[in-house]
Chain A
Amino acid sequence: MASNGHQRDDESIDEDETPTKQPRSDREMPGCFRYEPDNEAAAPAGRATSHRQTSNSTARLRSDSVKKTRPPFPWFGMDIGGTLVKLVYFEPKDITAEEEQEEVENLKSIRRYLTSNIAYGKTGIRDVHLELQDLTLCGRKGNLHFIRFPTHDLPAFLQMGRNKHFSSLHTTLCATGGGAYKFEADFHTMADLQLHKLDELECLIRGVLYIDSVVSSGPSECYYFENPTDPERCIQKPYTLENPYPLLLVNIGSGVSILAVYSESNYKRVTGTSLGGGTFLGLCCLLTGCSSFEEALEMASEGESTKVDKLVRDIYGGDYERFGLPGWAVASSFGNMMSKEKRESVSKEDLARATLVTITNNIGSITRMCALNENIERVVFVGTS
């Protein structure tokens, strides 16, 4: 995630924007989501500790020079994945009358279009429940909107951009994800837009840290489940990423990437798996005829995977004591589907459920091994799947 950025040409911005200079190069900060440190807690390695600032604390940093170097609106960030395009849009709420007057019509129309709708075209959706309000970003106050649509509808999006004369705004669109590379030419030819491409993993890490730092009210951005194996007592608990390192970051998109993160700029991709969200949806589409992720999840929530999977007790009649395997453990995902009678007796919901369980168990299993191999205790799962 990154907002539409400005190509820095003004080196003075650091001094203007951050009174306490941080040992971070400009190149690491291509977007304008910056974490201004608390003045009183500017430990060199403590960048992560100083993220928890409220919008009030940054208000005072607004100055003429910030205004001057601040990128022009609109502020966008795009992540073009294999399955979904994720778009964030910052809607400024502190527009002065003067600005309002200066604002060109095209910009207004885009703002209005995005903020007044919750669905765009046939497939675009704005996740209203995710919206972050009263956020201060680069000295501006506003709301952050989260919009998504399938990657295969990107041409329609570009068409819309063209119709709304997006290119007339002279903005550079910050984009990440594989699609930033794959579709760069399309952006240029179809919508006359320049992409500022950013590394996916770097954006991911910064996005995780940022979102954790700005969400201070409502449900915590990062959470875990207590008593996960006991449905009665299982509860969601907030978790703060104040001291996040080392961190295993599992990004579940169409596929899965697993990163070991040691600091904001020091990370490595440990491994990945092709069994991800795309697999869940792809298999569900083939097995049940569903067509959307929501539909697939809905079906999965109603199904029973134990009819589809072969459990340890299906083989051993109970626990496999020699190896301490409980009878309820899945011995073979879809294992019961080897039998014709059982294939005929399962529902679509059961199949969707089994697919979900298969994929999630597998990700869990690989993650656990990575965490052990990398000797990291904290694991954060993210991603649009």
Chain B
Amino acid sequence: MAEFVRVASSTSSHTMDKSITLPPDEIFRNLENAKRFAIDIGGSLTKLAYYSTVQHKVAKVRSFDHTSKEATNENLYEISVQEEVTARLHFIKFENAYIETCLDFIKDHLVNTETKVIKATGGGAHKFKELIERKLGLKVDKEDEMTCLIKGCNFVLRNIPHEAFVFAKHTESEYRFQTTQPDIFPYLLVNIGSGVSIVKVESEDKFERIGGSSIGGGTFWGLGALLTKTKRFDELLQLASKGQHTSVDMLVKDIYGGSYGSLGLTGDLIASSFGKSATADKEFSKEDMAKSLLHMISNDIGQLACLYAKMHNLSRVYFGGFFIRGHPVTMHTITYSINFFTKGEVQALFLRHEGYLGAIGAFLKGAEEDNPNQYSWGENYAGSSGLMSVSPDMNPMQRARSGTFDMLEMDRLERKLVNLPLLQDASSYIPDTVDLIEDAPAREYWLFCFEEALDGVVKRAVASQPEMPEAAERAEKFRQKYRHKLQTLRHQPFAYGSLTVRSLLDTREHCLNEFNFPDPYCKIKQRENDTALKYYQKAVKSLDGLSWEQRQFALVRGVLAGNVFDWGAKAVSDVLESDPEFGFEQAKRQLEERPWLIDSYDQWYERLKGPPHKCALFFVDNSGVDIILGVMPFIRELLSRGTEVVLASNSGPALNDVTNGELQILTESIAAMDPVIQSGLKEDRLICVQSGSSSPCLDLSRLDKALAMVVRERNIDLVIIEGMGRAIHTNYYAMLSCESLKMAVIKNSWLADRLGGKLFSVVFKYEVPITDDHEAALAP
């Protein structure tokens, strides 16, 4: 049943909270451009949603006109910083007690007068209708609660990677995040409000309430209040987490003296909830009764959910509602129950943004004319609070959260993102190699590593905007924000879903963008590109002088040496900072000699003797030496063999990775020097496409739709992934349905150590998919 609980205290506490002041930069951000409001008022929490546009700076590159004779400028292209407007969704969650203060704040900061309506849902919507209409001057338009809930659920499942998780108490990582499924339907949503609604969702618009139960959160709260004289829901949960249910419940062993072996019922199972309170006159502790009640209700809901899941043959069951809402205690008991009743066949799934579903859904209803579902959206790590820990150990009194405002911000992505069609099994694909939630030593190391690198990033950010005097101040804000994120993650590694090197890098990019440092490495990239271009012809010429066999190896070594030039790796950036003249040849000398750490060069070489590939997709990495002297000669050879080449590069900047904009210009200018590249471009056998990503890593399940289309059209039969971020931190274990080549130089001694190598060890992983009729040798 719907979440609806009247909190006796909420009305009376309106006045006392008027004194709080809201910092406008942090909460209800971008209100000046806000439109399309929606509000979801539950029993104790209000969730506000609005759509806004954010103006921020982006770095653009533009080719100089080199035909004019007055080319005094040595640079190949110019960098300009432009203003760009992007769409962002804001969701804010706060206690109902603050609703009046918040409405006043919104009124004061709301500029957009076109907004006439606010979509409202949740049981409290009608209670506060008058207040909202009076304060905001907007017409409250009510939306069906369950419809909003489902719409919101579909939205987060589709757009937020690692939205769903299973909860495993007593393990190193309690939160186990699930990978986003290519198809989110069908699923079962069990919403535990005051009662329970069980909804089967079959598609975006097709869902049905297939069942429910009156024994829900309201039963726990109401019955709990009667039994323990404890009024607050949170306090009841606190009591329950301290209690022992065995003194109140009658267990199988209380009846049998042990287990009921023939039925496989163990002695510790509850035979009768509250069964012992029926036979004794003795007093029971509040804690024990609360615990028993919690078990009774969780088990009952779990059992019904299982029965419905079984009947409708559904294996994905999500739980939500205020009974769950991030409480480890209830997540654990529900998980236990589901496990018990399905013998582990069905896992209870929870959602990171479960509390926002209604508000998101109501918002989407109001924004239907903008058709938000045609876009891809991404969680903005800089603007979102992440999952708060409500575990009693870490946060003894949950009420301490009072007054905090939880936020979720989502950016509308320029491009629609889809799976790489070449993934062997999209539903089991996990981009990240190491889950830092589970791997505590790795987590320690990388958090330390990113913290240590922060000074350098700040310095680089300031240096990228020499003409802007306030850059230092902004950079300092960036430092604080990112450091705070790192601290949060140290305590709550699960805050933003799986914690990975990729997520740490992405969070840093989001924070940099937040403070208008769109491309801190633009100047470095420009300089390095210009320099490397000068050596291109020489490099190609020396390669052409080699025998075929020697050349194949030299090309691979070239790519690897080029990959050493990575400003993201401290070991390298220190060298580059101190020695700007550090060159390609030096890099080659740094490389590990064969046999490499991972070495399937021989297989690759054998393959090259065979027929040429039809078309290769190359996910490139860094600017400068890497792309120009490493990658370009390599793909030049592929083109000469008759293989078409698709160069996939980042849509937006990340570290010194080459962006699609830059790569277009570079390719053109190389084409001017090199007839092979020239004809490749002209004959459409060489194309540059953007990946849709702005990360130093690569998530093959979130790629630009246009790229996916190219992949299909060109019948790609070879995927090359280059660099530590794309081939080691991510995709190291990615299985593709065509041949693949993963090349990277390990530029971090800790990681090298982990993988059993040393600094500048080489990973050269050539893989052929195993098929029934083609038992090709797999790379080691």
Q: Which residues of A approach B to under 8 Å, CB–CB?
A: 81-83, 150-152, 177-179, 181-183, 199, 201, 253-255, 269, 271, 273-279, 281-287, 291, 308-310, 312, 315-316, 320, 322-323, 329-341, 343, 351, 358, 361-362, 365-366, 369-370, 372-373
Contact = CB atoms under 8 A, between A and B. Distances in A.
Interface stretch (B97-105, B218-226, B384-392, B674-682): B218-226
Given A271-B303, A366-B307, A333 B219 contact: yes
A373 B1 contact: no
Interface string B254-269: 1111101011000001
A150 B279 contact: yes
B252 to A, nearest CB: 7
B289 A286 contact: yes
A373 B275 contact: no
Contact of B275 (A183, A278, A335): A278
A176 B215 CA distance: 32
A83 B272 contact: yes
Contacts of A370: 307
B279 A330 contact: no
A362 B213 contact: yes
A199 B262 contact: yes
Which of A287, A341, A362 counts the most B-chain CB atoms under 10 A from its CB? A362
Contacts of A316: 2
B256 A274 contact: no
A336 B222 contact: yes
B39 to A, nearest CB: 18
Nearest to B255: A178
Contact of A358 (B197, B215, B276): B215
A332 B272 contact: no
Nearest to B259: A181
B311 interface: yes
17 contacts: A179-B255, A271-B341, A274-B299, A276-B275, A279-B273, A286-B274, A286-B289, A310-B222, A315-B123, A320-B2, A323-B146, A331-B1, A332-B1, A332-B218, A334-B226, A335-B214, A335-B219
A334 B218 contact: yes
A183 B257 contact: yes
A278 B278 contact: yes
B252 A178 contact: yes
B255 A369 contact: no
A365 B279 contact: no
A331 B212 CA distance: 9
B195 A275 contact: no
A173 B310 CA distance: 42
A183 B215 CA distance: 35
B731 to A, nearest CB: 43
B194 A310 contact: yes
A181 B260 CA distance: 9
B1 A312 contact: yes
A373 B311 contact: yes
Nearest to A312: B1
B209 A323 contact: yes
Given A274-B249, A287-B226, 4 more contacts: A178-B271, A254-B255, A271-B307, A369-B211
Given A333-B215, A338-B221, A362-B213, A178 B257 contact: yes
A287 B225 CA distance: 11
A338 B279 contact: no
B8 A335 contact: no
Contacts of B275: 82-83, 254-255, 274, 276, 278-279, 282
B303 to A, nearest CB: 6
B256 to A, nearest CB: 4
Contacts of B8: 339-341
Interface string B261-301: 01100000111111111111100100001000000100110
Contacts of B544: none
B250 interface: yes
A353 to B, nearest CB: 14
Contacts of A331: 1-2, 194-195, 214, 218
Contacts of B274: 278-279, 282-283, 286
Nearest to B147: A322
Interface string B215-255: 11111011101110001000000000000000011101011
Given A279-B296, A358-B214, A332 B250 contact: no
Contacts of B270: 255, 274
A199 B260 CA distance: 10
A271 B341 CA distance: 8
Interface residues of B, number: 67
B4 interface: yes
B216 A322 contact: no
Contacts of A253: 272
Contacts of A277: 272
Contact of B214 (A286, A322, A333, A337): A333
A323 B194 CA distance: 17
B219 A334 contact: yes
Interface string B198-218: 000000000001010111111
A329 B5 CA distance: 17
With a 10 A CB-CB cut-off, give which of A181, A254, A340, A341 has the most chain B CB atoms.
Answer: A254
A337 B223 contact: yes
Interface in B616-651: none
A336 B221 CA distance: 9
Contacts of A199: 262
A183 B310 CA distance: 38
A284 B274 CA distance: 10
Contacts of A365: 211, 213, 304
A338 B222 contact: yes
Nearest to A199: B262
A230 B190 CA distance: 31
A282 B219 contact: no
Contact of B226 (A255, A279, A343): A343
A332 B223 contact: no
A291 B278 CA distance: 7
Given A83-B279, A177-B255, A178-B260, A333 B308 contact: no
B223 A282 contact: no
Contacts of B254: 82, 182
A274 B245 CA distance: 13
Contacts of A340: 8, 231
Given A309-B214, A333-B218, A275 B307 contact: no
B574 interface: no
B17 interface: no
A332 B216 contact: yes
Contacts of B248: 282
A290 B473 CA distance: 71
Contacts of A178: 252, 255-257, 260, 271
Instruction: Determine which residue in B209, B256, B308 has the highest number of CB atoms from chain A within 10 A of its CB, and name it.
Output: B256
B144 interface: yes
Contacts of B258: 181-182
Given A281-B278, A286-B274, A332-B222, A362 B215 contact: yes
Q: Which 10 A-B pairs have the closest CB atoms?
A: A337-B222, A282-B274, A278-B272, A178-B255, A182-B257, A332-B218, A278-B275, A335-B218, A334-B222, A254-B272
A81 B255 contact: yes
B6 interface: yes
